[in-house]
Amino acid sequence: MITMSTTRDRLLALTAGADAARHAGLAGPLPLRGAVRPGRLGPLAQVVAASGLRGRGGGWFPLIRKMEAVAAGAGSRPPVVVVNGMEGEPLSEKDTYLLNCAPHLVMDGATLAAEALGARRIVLAVTGDTYRPLVGGTRPGLRSLLQALARDRTAYGVDPVEITVLEGPDRYLSGQETALANWINGGPPVPTTARPFRKGVDGRATLVGNVETFAHLALIARRGPEWYRAVGTPDAPGTTLLTVSGAVGHPGVLEVPLGTPVRDVLTAAGVLTEPSAVLLGGYGGAWMSGRTATGLTLDPESIAAAGGALGPGIVHVLPQGAHGLVRTAEIARWMENQGARQCGPCQFGLRAVADDLDSVIRGDAVAGDRLRRRLALLPRRGGCAHPDGVARLVASALEVFA
């Protein structure tokens, strides 16, 4: 396991592992202030709002907006907090890494959010058996390790509400928030139309947030919004975790201030010459030429302006000499098979797009036009953004490689 620890690290400076005393020594005590009545927001909400913290699962949605929606949706029934560590994106390992090296920080954030919302149930969902080559193989014991920590935290009076740790199915869509809520409720891990902030786990208003988001929250609650905003961009403050992979000297997880030049991230990962192409954002992100990518900064606005998406913080470098279209065709086929197959555009559209891309690679002159026409029919036509992500990825591949 390689990480590039720097003095700018925040989350990765607090890697106490399972050791609760060491964590408390590094991070300081948990600043709990007493749970609010359901339907209200505790004083932490003002701190979250001032910090500008945005979700790290890939959507970059402001956490305060989610918290407000959950409080509004709760009525008089205590809401539920779900910590999403499913990490179904194959190029992402940062959540698993964080859960291994700073589990208490993540749990601190979950407890703080639960208190601020008056939640009485906290679920931490992970996929323990997933192969994570950068983090170090499989972690079959992750669920039981985390559950033991959660039990101890409750026994020692750290957490007023014991966190329940669940191990979910290793599918790309398992971490999609409506799919996750549906699975926790006993259903299949496929997206639904139920909005979690109104009707999520147990039919209650549910805050679903990414593992890393809760870890940032745990530090913001202790150190304040000004500290948090001291690095990052005005729209995307703070640091973020990245998973860097592909043709890099040092693959792994690193933490950078948002707004860091992509060039600097590549240099830190041991990329010494401009790469031919970089995949930003993962399987639902976009390829960029090396020249385009190295001119960008790592924040959601900069990458969106270039037609891409930062997603859950993925930087993947295409090896020199590798065929970008072939790599994309493999990803498109995998994404087709990972689809929930509930919506027509996903069930039929993704297969057609993957087939067309194969035809383009074989030199079929007609397939390219057909593929472009079909790509236009995927976005905003599914129950979730799965087809949108595939469309973005394949369109970017045609632009960069074809």
Partner 1 sequence: MNKELRVDFIACDGAGVCAELLPELLSRDEWGYPVVTEAAVPGRLRGHARKAVALCPKLALHLDL
Binding site for partner 1 (CB under 8 A): 191-193, 342-346, 348-349, 377, 381-383
Least distance in Å: CB of 349 to partner 1? 8
Report the C-alpha gap between 367 and 355 in whole angstroms: 9
Report the C-alpha gap between 116 and 185 in whole angstroms: 23
Residue 94 CA to chain centroid, in angstroms? 8
Closest CA to 91 of 132, 59, 129, 54: 132
Least distance in Å: CB of 401 to partner 1? 26
User: How many CB atoms are closer than 10 A to CB 188?
Assistant: 14
Contact 12, 101 (CB under 8 A): yes
Question: Of 191 and 324, which has the nearer Cβ to partner 1?
Answer: 191
Question: Of 154 and 185, which has the nearer Cβ to partner 1?
Answer: 185
Least distance in Å: CB of 307 to partner 1? 23
Least distance in Å: CB of 336 to partner 1? 14
Question: Of 175 and 349, which has the nearer Cβ to partner 1?
Answer: 349
Question: Of 281 and 383, which has the nearer Cβ to partner 1?
Answer: 383
Question: Of 126 and 346, which has the nearer Cβ to partner 1?
Answer: 346
Locate 313 and state its tokens. 């913080």
Question: Of 95 and 177, which has the nearer Cβ to partner 1?
Answer: 177
Least distance in Å: CB of 346 to partner 1? 8
Tell me the C-alpha to C-alpha distance, in Å, between residue 370 and each of 85, 360, 367, 376: 38, 10, 5, 10
Put residue 307 in one of left, alpha, beta given phi > 0 → left and psi -120 to 50 → alpha. left
Closest CA to 158 of 306, 29, 71: 29
Q: Residue written as tokens 């087709």?
A: 336
Question: Of 22 and 351, which has the nearer Cβ to partner 1?
Answer: 351
Partners of 240 in beta bridges: 256
Q: Name the strand (E) or helix (H) holding 366.
A: helix 365-375
Question: Of 297 and 338, which has the nearer Cβ to partner 1?
Answer: 338
Locate 294 and state its tokens. 């190295």
Least distance in Å: CB of 200 to partner 1? 16
Least distance in Å: CB of 385 to partner 1? 12
What is the DSSP code (8-state) at residue 249?
A: S
Question: Of 335 and 346, which has the nearer Cβ to partner 1?
Answer: 346
Question: Of 280 and 384, which has the nearer Cβ to partner 1?
Answer: 384
Least distance in Å: CB of 347 to partner 1? 8
Least distance in Å: CB of 40 to partner 1? 28
Closest CA to 312 of 174, 171, 212: 212
Put residue 210 in one of left, alpha, beta given phi > 0 → left and psi -120 to 50 → alpha. beta
* Radius of gyration in angstroms for the set of CA atoms belonging to the chain, rounded to a whole number: 21
What is the DSSP code (8-state) at residue 52?
A: T
Identity of the residue numbered 220? I
Three-class SS state of 81: strand
What is the DSSP code (8-state) at residue 32?
A: -
Three-class SS state of 254: strand
Least distance in Å: CB of 311 to partner 1? 22
Least distance in Å: CB of 276 to partner 1? 35
Question: Of 129 and 388, which has the nearer Cβ to partner 1?
Answer: 388
Burial code of 385-397, b = ≥16 C-beta within 10 A, e = fewer? bbbbbbbbbbbbb
H helices of 131-176, in order, are: 142-155
